[in-house]
Amino acid sequence: MTRIAQAAVLMMLLAGLASADSVMFGLGGDPGQYYTFTPVGAPAGVTDTEPAGPYPGVLVENNSADNNFFFCITFTKVAYWGASYEGTLIAPTTQPQLEAAYLASELYNLGDQNAPLSVKGAISMAIWQITDPTPGHVPVDPAAQPYVAQAQAAYNAGKLTPAQFTSSKIFVPNDPSIQDFMLSAAQLTATPEPGTIALMLTGLGLIAISRLRRSR
């Protein structure tokens, strides 16, 4: 995602804030991280391609903006590149949320955006598999299974608790058809100063919107 695209998303968010208490999330431009794999049980020659996370985005809370990278944690819903959404923030507390936050932190330790696409893809599919409320909606990626097992083992051993992830953030849109996005505490960055935000917005226009999920 270019700096111009980041600033354009930020402009949309700040312009849409209704009050100082508003929380908004803006999904950035398509990072082009398309991960292809053969799902478990798929017929010979059938593959699946999904946009691997994390994705660039902007989280605006109380008029402070955080440009960062986010994981989608609701596979069966939708979101649109370059769109912004109003909602609320929660901390991970359930087993799926804690395991997803754990895997997001694991990717950070493995290089984050510099990690190979195969790693980002497998961890993305593992997060979606873990957070799928109805098993079977998410294509099962063989490469994701070690990460699923690792996260579950960490939780079952009592190593994952809400107290460990109080700084992690999950954005839940007001529109229930839109995907939830998670920012791991390990990924948090400093908030831009108001003057920096103003400079970023100068002379920039809006960016185009397209679907997050590609048609298969």
Question: What does the alpha-carbon distance between residue 179 and residue 17 come to, in Å, rounded to a whole number?
Answer: 20
pLDDT by residue for the chain (216 residues), tens only, comes to: 455 454 454 444 444 444 445 799 999 999 999 999 999 999 999 999 999 999 999 999 887 888 999 999 999 999 999 999 999 999 999 999 999 999 999 998 898 889 999 999 999 999 999 999 888 899 999 999 999 999 999 999 999 999 988 888 999 999 999 999 999 766 554 444 444 344 333 333 333 333 344 433
DSSP string computed for 28-54: ------EEEE--TTPPTT--EEEE-S-
Cα–chain-centroid distance for residue 57? 8
Question: What does the alpha-carbon distance between residue 37 and residue 28 come to, in Å, rounded to a whole number?
Answer: 25
Note the pLDDT of residue 27.
97
Domain spans in the chain, listed from the N-terminal domain onward: 3-211
Question: What does the alpha-carbon distance between residue 190 and residue 192 come to, in Å, rounded to a whole number?
Answer: 6
Note the pLDDT of residue 129.
97
Question: What does the alpha-carbon distance between residue 33 and residue 51 come to, in Å, rounded to a whole number?
Answer: 5
Which regions of 15-165 does DSSP assign to beta strands (E)? Answer: 23-27, 34-37, 48-51, 55-61, 64-72, 80-81, 84-90
Kindly provide the b/e burial profile for residues 29-49, where b requires at least 16 CB atoms within 10 angstroms of the residue's own CB: bbbebebebbeeeeeeeeebe
**For the CA atoms of the chain, what is the radius of gyration?**
17
Whether residue 184 contacts residue 105, with contact meaning beta carbons closer than 8 Å, is answered with yes
Nearest to 197 by CA among 13, 2, 1: 13
Q: In which element (H, E) is residue 210 found?
A: strand 210-211
Nearest to 82 by CA among 64, 104, 55, 114: 55
Question: What does the alpha-carbon distance between residue 105 and residue 185 come to, in Å, rounded to a whole number?
Answer: 8
